[in-house]
Structure 1
Amino acid sequence: MSSYTIPIGPVHVVLEEPIYFKLQVEGETVVGLEINAGHSHRGIEFLAMQRNFYQNLTLTERVCSLCSNNHPFTYCMAIEKLAGIEIPVRAEYLRTIADEIKRISSHLFNIGILPHIIGFDSLFMHAMELRETMQDLKESVFGNRMNLSVNTIGGVRYDISDEQAKYILTTLDNLKKPLAELTGIFKSNASIRRRTEGVGVLSEDKAVEYGVVGPVARASGVGYDVRVDNPYAAYDKLKVNVATQKNGDSLSRLLVRLEEVAESINILEQCLKELPDGPTCLDIMPDIPAGEAIAKSEAPRGELIYYARTNGTPIPERLKWRVPTYMNWGALSVMLTGSKIADIPVVVGSVDPCISCTER
């Protein structure tokens, strides 16, 4: 059988962002993969060392669009840990609320992209219609549809009135039935199953070996979730169920995200019903002493880690982050090996990679 190389990227219709895939193919079957990144490097970590702690709140939120809330959220936790700052309890709940609203919207985007890749555009529009409900909710509560700008060192910049809480609960309640219908379609539709079931398999052993995180890991049976295993914000006060699947294929990764949307609704209902009274932020801008700290959170794509080092000045000496895609895209060599050429965009899309935040 003839062997040849297929170049995909750095600019290609299959890819949302610039990255270069060099695929080794025998006939119609992929037998090897080489990834060449670096096409969207922005030097954003260097920029963070030119700005003060509060200016970096705006900068870190622009690292990634679909995980935008988690970057300043985790950054704030690292700085607060370093400075020994305890935020108000109400702020912990409000951070959790913003995080889960953003998670639902991000997951629904990826859930919609997969049927779009395989040509099932009516299902794509159905998923995006649900996502638009969350986009409207974000704009109503936070004033923006993408970057929420809710986090600050010492708490949050927003609060929720009783009227807004009722509006969020009503919106979430209205989301449950169409979400269940959408889940039923993904589980039963022959076209979806034919293109995703058994495609891009990552076994549990390989998931552990490559250190994948987020829905990619949980779809392979690795039940690691930062919200449960290393709780932060208000997660230690809430009941959080970890969604897992066993098959490790593209369908399993899709189903994990659908289950996580339903679980995020459950978490938000808990937060809004238990939301305590009190301040939402410190009433001073605290001084940040010299030191170093690490913080992590469960972004929509998986574990996000921030490292901060300070020297007593208003500008961080070093700021570094490790995003979930960095761990997940290494396992594409396993997922794509043995797949057909037509399945390449399905497998890549099921990982939900973010190139820009990975390259920093």
Structure 2
Amino acid sequence: MNKNALIFVGLFVFLLILIVFSMSWGRFSIPVIEVIHTLLLQNANETQHAIIFNLRLPRIFAAILVGGALAIAGVTYQGIFRNPLVSPDILGVSNGACVGAAIAILLGTNIFGIQVFAFLGGLCAVMLTMNLPRLIKRDSTIILVLSGIIVSGFMLSTLGLIKYLANPETQLADIVYWQLGSLTKANFHHLIMLSPIIISTALLLYLLRWRINVLSLGDREARLIGANIRMERHIMVINATLLTSAAVCLSGTIGWLGLIIPHLSRLFIGDNNLNSLPLAAMIGAIFLLIIDTLARNLYIQEIPLGILTGFIGAPFFAWVLIKQNTLK
């Protein structure tokens, strides 16, 4: 078994252990052996059964899906834009999706309507970010990042206006929930609605990951290979945006994950997206499951995920940058 396979197997085993531990640890602690018996339907304790299957298991599945989705979206964006600094957050996709979800909440739509509006908001944000460098006729890494900051700032201002207009008794709490990020409302109904979108778009990007390698070579080299750059880039942007929007619908906005996990994956396994994309999905799932488990246990009240990812993600990303500079 080669090194890459060992890393995947090791992380998968760690994820399984983490799942069991996450089901055990909480306000109502359940011994690990009782968790295993409950999963095997050999536990007659109805309280433990209800806590595991109705509360903790949906959150665990949601954390795995959202963490993996944001990591895959981050790898895709960084690859097709040939820019290690871009992510769903930097490009404005997350904030755009959050604005779309907030508009849907104001209109009183169901979860499907929120998904549609979140996708449209995220797509609008990334298209604005992609076209701003063309308007000023300067196509470079720093200009793309600055364009993302501009669009993100505009989306945050729009979100602030929506929060001001929202009904504080019925709508404001839901919008704040989307903005700060949480898996409190994750349940099997939402998972059934959103997991097919997340899994199908993630699977498509997984199958196209070798084309991400092609696009990351640069426009001239990609054309020589025979790639239809415009079409392939748009297909990947749409799928990565849909993936991010579905994740936002499930968890709200969670920063840093789509930026730092692709870097960590490349540190482990190299720049080849054939390997780094699936590894990033695994690491992203593990990372968010750890964050969510800490969020519901560190304090009396549940801590929003966006706060914890910010405290952990910022210094971690600084370490990644220092590590990469040291290796050069």
Q: TM-score scaled by structure 1?
A: 0.28
Whose helix fraction is larger, Structure 1's or Structure 2's?
2
Work out which structure has the larger RCO, using CA pairs closer than 8 Å and 6 or more positions apart in sequence: 2
Q: TM-score scaled by structure 2?
A: 0.30
Whose strand fraction is larger, Structure 1's or Structure 2's?
1
